[in-house]
Amino acid sequence: MQGITESAVDEYLLSILPPRDSVLQEMEAQAAKRDIPIVGPAVGRVLFQYARLINAKKVFELGSAIGYSTLWFARAVGEDGEVFYTDGDPKNADEASGYFRRAGVAERIHIGVGDALEQLTQRQREFDIIFNDVDKEYYPRVLDLAPNHLRRGGLFITDNVLWSGRVTEQNAKDKDTRAIQEFNQRLYAMKDFFTTILPLRDGLAVAVKA
Ligand SMILES: C[S@@+](CC[C@H](N)C(=O)[O-])C[C@H]1O[C@@H](n2cnc3c(N)ncnc32)[C@H](O)[C@@H]1O
């Protein structure tokens, strides 16, 4: 995907990152080879850092693919934490569970196959972090749902909120772009959340619940 920052700046930001362990490296290589849209290492570090900042122990992910962002969260929550992986594709879940085993974090991850929004609906208000990375057309629906499942002081984090810059289009025709525009506008207007967008990679919205 085309970054939203200058490509030289993107390359610099990636070049200064410390090397990842062999499991994350293999996931990154697979994602590059098969064009799987993972958050990548710069955003992975942000997810880890925010989880540590609020001492998160329970994380729910909507849209986990091969489990790359899940693995960053799983390491951040530690041995006594839990991460809920969700994806609609059982093949992704199989592949992800192999990586989780190899990384030694399988016990702290619950794997759920099927619609991520439905799976979240069935949970209580209990999460320290909800991470949203499903298909973009669902973003407004995720916004109706996710806040009710977060504790106070919890974080609602969403990827791709700048959508390669397409969010700047007036009267956008594409449904994904329109969904993200609506999502961003509504999220900033929510009285019980304080939101910022980090213009890193494809844009990451971080909203803290009052
Ligand atoms: C952008 S990828 C997730 C990448 C992952 N968060 C990472 O950074 O490693 C989006 C994934 O969400 C899944 N997905 C999209 N909409 C979904 C839905 N409504 N329920 C469950 N999974 C969904 C797709 O199958 C895809 O694997």
Q: Count structural domains, the chain.
A: 1
In a domain, residue 185? The reply is: yes
Q: Are 98 and 127 in contact (CB under 8 A)?
A: no
In a domain, residue 134? The reply is: yes
Task: Give the ligand 1 atom nearest the CA of 87.
Answer: 22
pLDDT for the residue numbered 170: 97
Q: Is the pTM of this model over 0.95?
A: yes
Q: Which two tokens stand for residue 181?
A: 């525009």
Ligand 1: lining residues by beta carbon, under 6 Å: 37-39, 63-65, 68-69, 86-89, 92, 115-117, 133-135, 138
The angle subtended at Cα 49 by Cα 209 and Cα 84, nearest 5°, is 65
Q: Whose CA is nearest to atom 26 of ligand 1?
A: 65
In a domain, residue 2? The reply is: no
- Region 132-148: mean pLDDT is 98
**Residue 133 alpha carbon to ligand 1 centre in Å:** 6
Question: From CA 110, how far away is CA 20, in angstroms rounded?
Answer: 23
How many helices (H) and strands (E) the chain has is answered by 8, 7
Q: In what order do the strands lie in the sheet with 109-113?
A: 109-113, 82-87, 58-62, 127-132, 150-159, 204-209, 193-198
pLDDT for the residue numbered 81: 98
pLDDT for the residue numbered 5: 86
Chain-wide mean pLDDT for the chain?
A: 97
Banded model confidence at residue 3, pLDDT cuts 50, 70, 90? low
Pairing between strand 82-87 and 109-113?
Answer: parallel
Q: What CATH number is attached to the domain comprising 46?
A: 3.40.50.150
Domain that holds residue 184: 7-209
pLDDT for the residue numbered 180: 98
Q: Which two tokens stand for residue 125?
A: 């208000």
